[in-house]
Amino acid sequence: MGTSGSSSGSGSGTPLVPSWLGGGDSGDLPGGDAPPTPDGNDGGDDQGSPQNPDNNQNPPIPPVAAPERFRSARTNFSRFAGSGGSDGRALKRAVRDYVRSGTGGSANAVRRMGTARSAASNALGVFRGIQRDGMQETLRRLNLQNFAGRPIQDIFVGLTEVICHDGGTIDEAITRDAWLETIASLEQFDIADSDALSADQIQEVFLSFVAHTVEARLYQEIGVNGFKFSEDLQDIEGFDKQFRDYIERSVRDSFASDLGEMANFSDKEIREIVDKTYLDTWNLLETLGDREG
């Protein structure tokens, strides 16, 4: 699956939103200052946007987690894996049960993605700078001017430390791995000019990264707890492809934001888009699972 870390998944006694989970950075996003909003606010402060599950207020004490709350999700995921990827109904039920029972609902699922949301916001912050000021100037501001003119894959690798903060936790590891998987798939986005990114290309890269973080989160929480499936390579490839295709398609189907005016976005607007993207994704995954009974 490509995740950087492995564990037995979250235990049943883990809080629905663990206190150690990052809630997203509140500082300025990389890529240069955004233009001020009409009221003079540069958008850097987020005081509890309706789309943002985290804010600068003291968070409520998380509810006590129900025992065995991941059992149904893990059972269905194991059934899906054991089918070599053919039991799509089990996959949809597994993800639904992860959202509803494992995390306590889509809003909590978003909160659990704090590290990924921070990285996604950082990525859009960099893309905003590229849209507004060009690649070379943005790289110069980030002290990465040596990457100017190099292939786009090299540039994105150079941006890894800017996008993904390395602190050693599993969440940071899987977020970094999701970014590297996104880099590995850049060729499919037809980015011929390393000095510019179109709005459509930015959207594709962003959604690919979001999908990879969701895949990694699900795999860590419900997919690594000892499931067994066929040792046949074809079955393993089928399982992996169906899992990835389902998540990536759901991320794209749920996306309703417009990145066409990226150059003018404030930090706050970027963070709201990121949070909405994760929230809409988890909502759709829950709905799709309900259709399977």
Per residue in 92-101, pLDDT (tens digit) is 999 999 999 9
pLDDT, greater one: 6 or 147? 147
| Cα-based torsion angle of the residue sequence 61, 275, 222, 242 in order, rounded to the nearest 10 degrees | 170
64: which DSSP letter?
P
**pLDDT(244) > 60:** yes
Q: What digits encode the pLDDT tens for the residues 134-175?
A: 999 999 999 999 999 999 999 999 999 999 987 668 889 889
Q: What is the pLDDT of residues 99-146, one digit of tens each?
A: 999 999 999 999 999 999 999 999 999 999 999 999 999 999 999 999
Question: Which amino acid, residue 259?
Answer: L
Q: What is the pLDDT of residue 3?
A: 44
Average pLDDT, the chain: 82
Buried b (16+ CB within 10 A) or exposed e, 54-92: beeeeeeeeeebeeebbebbbbbbbbbbbbbbebbbbbb
Section 216-226 average pLDDT: 81
90 pLDDT more than 70: yes
CA neighbor of 51 nearest in space, from 212, 280, 288: 280
Predicted TM-score (pTM) of this structure: 0.82
Q: Which of 3-7, 82-86, 107-111, 253-257 is least confident?
A: 3-7
pLDDT band at 223 (very low <50, low <70, confident <90, very high): confident
Residue 87: the pLDDT is 93
Mean pLDDT across the stretch 233-260? 91
